[in-house]
Amino acid sequence: MLGSLFALLLTLSAACAQDPYGSDHNTTSIVGTWSSGTQKVVTGPGFADPAQETFVYPNATGVGYSFSDDGWYELARFRYIANGSHPECIIATVVWAHGNYELTDNGSIILTPIGDGYQQVQSPCTGNSNFMQNYNVTEVYMAWRIFTDVTFGPKLHLFQYDGSAVAPLFRLSDQPNMLPKQKLRNKEVTVVTTTRDGLITTETLLSKRKEKRRDAEPHVQRRGWSSFFW
Ligand SMILES: *[C@@H]1O[C@H](CO)[C@@H](O)[C@H](O)[C@H]1NC(C)=O
Ligand SMILES: *[C@@H]1O[C@H](CO)[C@@H](O)[C@H](O)[C@H]1NC(C)=O
Ligand SMILES: *[C@@H]1O[C@H](CO)[C@@H](O)[C@H](O)[C@H]1NC(C)=O
Ligand SMILES: *[C@@H]1O[C@H](CO)[C@@H](O)[C@H](O)[C@H]1NC(C)=O
Ligand SMILES: CC(=O)N[C@H]1CO[C@H](CO)[C@@H](O)[C@@H]1O
């Protein structure tokens, strides 16, 4: 179904070079707060505290975006990456980032982070099973469309360059739910690179300090992998 939707989009964009979006698009502005699936992953203070490099884990996986009317975006994502041959080695990642977005003339959307994003990785089958990384990935989508779902209202689709679609995003609010639009984590002074068990990671000093504290105080419980399954 998404495939035919996408074919339709391509036809539309080819047909109207002047209007890369097409007439069915634009039922509403992209400005607001959007979330996929069960809509549990939402940007803003309820998800990430960049200064402390912490996350409040949502109750379900998914992705959330907010877009402001002055070109700012925020990303929140919580997902599992399956391992076919070793199901017990499923990897969980939680990501927060923000920065500037651009709606280009050819209909694509470019999300450029400002460099203070971070990611927590829970990887039960590697020696370093729970670590924090810097996350500064530019996202480019070749097209975006907003349709109106009869049940859920405005629905945002982001299309990747390989033609696949990101899970549809439902609008939670026409206002963006965002942390302050400025650098919230000083990654320059905190970066340290380490290699463990063949895994090259860029860990932050803050997360290392937390590890040390945990080692020094055995009564402080380290958040384990098992706490990520409800
Ligand atoms: C997850 O669900 C529990 C129980 O419904 C609730 O108390 C908690 O606030 C939820 N957590 C988040 C991050 O939404
Ligand atoms: C659309 O424009 C952006 C920036 O100008 C560029 O990066 C991207 O490759 C273009 N996409 C296509 C399909 O030409
Ligand atoms: C983050 O990525 C953007 C876009 O590639 C780049 O301009 C910026 O310098 C990067 N910031 C850091 C701190 O690496
Ligand atoms: C699956 O897990 C095994 C055991 O840790 C690992 O060797 C392998 O690289 C993993 N495969 C993928 C695709 O991540
Ligand atoms: C009503 C509305 O939101 N219109 C928007 C349609 O899309 C263009 C291109 O993104 C925007 O500039 C309009 O504001």
Q: Range with the lowest mean pLDDT among 80-89, 92-101, 169-178, 221-230?
A: 221-230
112 in contact with ligand 3, CB cutoff 6 A: yes
The values of phi and psi at residue 228, to 5°, are -95, 0
Nearest ligand to the CA of 21 is 5
Does residue 3 fall inside a structural domain? no
Largest CA distance in the chain: 65
Give 86 Cα–ligand 4 centroid separation in angstroms: 7
Is 117's C-beta closer than 6 angstroms to any atom of ligand 3? Answer: no
Q: Does residue 36 form part of some domain?
A: yes
Q: How many domains does the chain have?
A: 1
Given this model, what pLDDT does residue 201 score?
46
Q: Is 168 in the pocket of ligand 1 (CB under 6 A)?
A: no
Per residue in 20-73, pLDDT tens? 565 556 568 999 999 999 999 999 999 999 999 999 999 999 999 999 999 999
**pLDDT (tens digit, 9 = 90+) per residue, 177-191?**
999 999 999 865 444
Output the residue whose Cα is nearest ligand 3's atom 13: 115
The encoded tokens of residue 120 equal: 């927590």
Ligand (nearest to CA of 35): 1
Residue 13 lies in a domain: no
The pair of three-digit structure tokens given for residue 152, joined into one six-digit string:
């859920």
| pLDDT at residue 188 in the model | 52
CA of 136 to the centre of ligand 3 (A): 6
The verdict on residue 26 lying in a domain is yes
Residue 5 resides in a domain: no
Please indicate, yes or no, if residue 11 is contained in any of the structural domains: no
Q: Which domain holds residue 47?
A: 21-178+185-216
C-alpha 72 – ligand 5 centre gap (Å): 16
Q: Pick the residue with more confidence: 195 or 75?
A: 75
Task: Give the closest ligand to the alpha carbon of residue 14.
Answer: 2
108 lines ligand 2 (CB under 6 A): yes
* pLDDT tens-digit series, residues 94-130: 999 999 999 998 889 999 999 999 999 999 888 778 8
Q: CB within 6 Å of ligand 4 — which residues?
A: 83, 85-86, 89, 125
The DSSP bridge partners found for residue 153 are 149
- Extended strands (E) in the chain: 32-36, 48-49, 54-55, 62-67, 72-81, 91-103, 109-113, 118-122, 130-134, 139-141, 143-149, 153-159, 169-173, 191-196, 199-204
Lowest-confidence region among 76-80, 147-151, 162-166, 181-185: 162-166
- Express each pLDDT in 196-210 by its tens digit: 443 434 455 555 555
Does residue 209 sit within a domain?
Answer: yes
Tokens of 60: 């379900």
Confidence at residue 140, expressed as pLDDT on a 0 to 100 scale:
94
Task: Kindly give the number of the ligand 4 atom that is closest to the alpha carbon of 125.
Answer: 5
Nearest ligand for residue 139 CA = 3
Q: Per residue in 124-155, pLDDT tens?
A: 888 778 889 999 999 999 989 898 888 889 99
Q: What is the pLDDT of residue 150?
A: 87
- The answer to the question of residue 9 being in a domain is no
User: What b-and-e string marks burial along 93-103, b requiring 16 or more CB atoms within 10 Å of the CB?
Assistant: bbbbbbbebee
pTM: 0.76
